[in-house]
Structure 1
Amino acid sequence: MNHLPQSWGRPRDDIYGAYDHSYLQSNGPNQHTQSPIVTGTSVIALKFKDGVVIAADNLASYGSLARFTDVKRLRSFADSSIVGFGGDVSDMQYLDRLLSSLDTREAYCSSGHSLNAQNLHTYLAKVFYKRRSEFSPLWNQVLVAGLDAESKPFLASADLLGTTFSAPSLATGFGAHLAQPLLRKVAPDEDAVAKLSEEEAVQAVKESMKVLFYRDARSLDKYSIAVVTKAGIRLKEDEKLENQSWAFADKIRGYGTQVN
C-alpha cells in the first residue's frame, strides 16, 4: 500500500493507470498572495490635547462591489490603544488574532508592565517588515492611536513595507488626498494640537468622513469612530453620517436630465 499523502483516496494504479500529479506543482516555487482581494478603504485620525480621535467606515469591497457593509476596522487593545486597519480584510483578521494573542500574554505576564500604543506600533512595524522581507507582505496600512508610556497622545502609521511615521493627523487610502488637507487646517503642527479640544477634533473627523463618503467610490455612510484619552476608550461602531444628502447633485450641470 502506498502511504504517501498524495496517493490517499486515489484509484489503484495497476487497474486505472497512474494518476496525474501535475496539479501538485511540486517543481514550482512557493507562491504567496500578491494582491488584496476584499479591501477596506480610508482610516483617518487626529490628535488633540488630551488624546486621539480615529475613524473608519464599515465597508469591505470585493473589487468594485460594495460587498460587506458591516466590517468593523477599528480594534481596541490593552485598554489604551486603537488600531485602524486599511487594506486587505483577511490580513486584517490575521493581525487582529496576532495582537489579541499578544494582549492576552501581556495581561497574564508577571512583569508588571502593560502594552501601550507605542509598543503596539513598534510590534506591528516589525511584523510588516518581516513579512515584506519574506516576499509575503501583509497588504495593510494601519494607524495606531492611543497613549504612549508617558500617557501622552500617540498617533503613528505602519504599512506593508514596514515604513513608519507619525504626525498630528494621519490618513490611509484616499483619505491621504481628501481628508488630510482638512485635518491639517485644524492641526497643522504639535502646537495647534496642544490647543485643540476633543469636540473640535471629533467634528473635524466627522466632516472628513462626510467628504470621503461623497468623493471616495469605495466608502460608506456608516462608520466606526473612537476617542482615546486617559479616561479610557470610547468606541462607537455604528455611527451614521449626519445631514448628508445627494440633493445638491441636481444643481450640477450634466447630472440627470438637465438641458440648460
Structure 2
Amino acid sequence: MTARLPVFPLGTVLFPGLVLPLHIFEERYRALVRHLVELPEGTPREFGVVAIQAGWEVAPTGPGGRPIPGGGAVTLHEVGCTAEVRQVTELDDGGFDLVTVGRRRFRVASVDEASAPYLTAEVEWLPEPTGPDESTSLLAARVIAVFRQYLTLVRADEQELSEQLPEDPTVLSHLVAATAALTVADRQRLLAVDDTAARLRAELRMLNREAALLRQVRAVPVPLTELATPPSPN
C-alpha cells in the first residue's frame, strides 16, 4: 500500500513513538504547517521525516537572502518515519513551534520537488511486528541489561539511571536506537530493520561497541578537556 506524504528532510532520524519538537522558520515548511493546520478536523496531521544523506537541511541563500538555484537539493535516505503533529504554536514572526510524535515507518518510492512548495513523496508503508514472541522477549531483557550498563558510562546522575524502560520489545528497540549516542548512519540502519529481534540484536552489538569505546576513553590518563580541540569556525 502506498501513500503520498509531505516530506521534511532533517539531519536526524525519527523513530515510532518518540517525541520530536521542531522549530519551523523556512517559508516552504511554514507552508507545510499551514497545510496541515487547514486539514479537516479528524484528519491525521502527519508528514514524513527522512534523514538527509547528502545536502543541506536549510536551503542556502545568496545576497539579499534569495535562495541559490539548486542549492536546496538534498539526497534522502530510503527509509523514514511519519511525524504526527500534536501541538502547534504560531510565533509572532510567522514561524511555528511544533510538538510531534513518530508514528509509522515508510520507504520512499519517489520524491516530487515540483508540485508543492515543500517536498512530497510517494511512500510504501513498512510492516510492523504484531506482538512479541519468547525469543524476542529474551533479547529485549538482554538489551535492557546492556543499555543500563551503557547508561552508567554516559550519565552522572544516578536518579536518571532508575528510569523505567519499556517492556514491549519493539518500543524498547525504538527507544534505545533514538537515545543511545549513535551516529545518524547507525540510527538509519536500525530504523530500516523490519524485524524487532534483528533490531535488538544489532543494538546489542552497537551498545557493546559504544561501551567499549567509552571505557577506553575513561582509561586515558589525562583530563578529557585536554583531548578537546578548538571548534572549527566553519
Q: Same fold (TM over 0.5)?
A: no
Tell which structure's C-alpha radius of gyration is larger.
1
